[in-house]
Amino acid sequence: MNLSLGQTVPLGLTAPAAGWTIPLNRLENFNMEILLANPRGFCAGVNRAIQIVDRALELFGAPIYVRHEVVHNRHVVEDLRARGAVFVEELDEVPDAATVIFSAHGVPIAVRQHAAARGLSVFDATCPLVTKVHMEVKKYSRDGMEMVLIGHAGHPEVEGTMGQVEEGMMYLVSNVTDVASLTPRNPEKLAYITQTTLSMDDTAEVIQALRARFPHIQGPKKDDICYATQNRQDAVKTLAPEVDILLVVGAPNSSNSSRLAELGGRLDTPTHLIEDSSQLRREWFADVGKIGISAGASAPESLVKGIIDQLQEWGATAPQETAGVEEKVIFSLPLALVQAQSRRQDAGQVTGDSA
């Protein structure tokens, strides 16, 4: 079907997403449709973490040190680095009297103690939903319980959560096989928690295996997997069966992005995890009628736009937004950062009045 500029979209079709137009030189080449998953991209925790680094740079100037990548996205990190953020893996790399920000993934207690002992100025960008898991760990620890963490070894969130208790108090499992070999000291006093960015389906299987093997095991009252992870996975479950190919925008070291790509593959939809438009390959789209696009919680919408622009150069139509959950969650910034900004504004007002 060919449309002219300004023609009304016929009843039963989805209108192009707001802000998108059909390139003039592609009006006669409607070979591919683009369907956009909703929700996609930045979550409230990622927005908060980036805002914390932004605000710290604005208030205190460069350099601002950040322990670990504040979020797992190369483009976000490079943008912040260009503005004066310095990313380090350990606090030993941070000079005395410097300002340091903890990443959205959270940190072990030992890192906080190290920062305090050195007198570093700290702003914590840990996602509040990760902090919720840390609070659960502290409660179980006070109750004298051992814990099982469902998560992926080596991920900074897992390292941060396991670092909330003494070594040996928490066991890490990634799958049902790990559960079968688990040997806690007291199966009667056992609790589980989870990484926030896991596959919901995989995690449900592991929890089921834990409950079958350890009938008295306790768990959180509310699922530890965050709302944004759940919503994005649900959106992919809806979208993937409707398209011929699925593109997931995100970094390979992003847990939630990787889980979206894995989910697309499980639904038998050819799926590619890509960081930006430079990784697109034209041969992927031979005989493709519908392209689905989702984005991990740490992927900015600008990367999605760049991919759409390239696909339209290859003949795709204007993208269509699919129905989905509207996310209204907003996390507040650290009080110390808000107070620092308020003091600066007050000082500026006094200076202005004096002039």
For residue range 215-246, what is the model confidence (pLDDT) as tens digits? 999 999 888 999 999 999 999 999 999 999 99
Q: Is 25 assigned a ligand-binding role in the annotation?
A: no
User: Is the pLDDT score of 350 beyond 60?
Assistant: no
163 is a domain residue: yes
Taking residues 179-192, report their average pLDDT.
97
For residue 118, give the CATH number of its domain: 3.40.50.11270
* C-alpha dist (Å) from residue 328 to 43, 81, 325: 10, 29, 9
156 is a domain residue: yes
Q: Is 4 assigned a ligand-binding role in the annotation?
A: no
Q: Please indicate, yes or no, whether residues 206 and 176 belong to a single structural domain of this protein.
A: yes
Q: Please indicate, yes or no, whether residues 112 and 82 belong to a single structural domain of this protein.
A: yes
Q: Is 103 assigned a ligand-binding role in the annotation?
A: no
* Residue 169 domain boundaries: 129-213
Kindly report the average pLDDT of the chain as a whole number: 91
pTM of the model: 0.87
Q: Is 255 assigned a ligand-binding role in the annotation?
A: yes
Our answer to whether residue 157 is catalytic in this structure is yes
Question: Where is the domain boundary, 150, 182, 213?
Answer: 213
Q: Residue with structure tokens 């834990």?
A: 210
Q: Please indicate, yes or no, whether residues 233 and 311 belong to a single structural domain of this protein.
A: yes
Q: Is 105 assigned a ligand-binding role in the annotation?
A: yes
173 is a domain residue: yes
**Active-site residue, from 157, 159, 205, 283:** 157
Question: Where is the domain boundary, 158, 191, 213?
Answer: 213
For the segment 152-180, what is each residue's pLDDT rounded down to a tens digit? 999 999 999 999 999 999 999 999 999 99
Question: Where is the domain boundary, 185, 213, 241?
Answer: 213
80 is a domain residue: yes
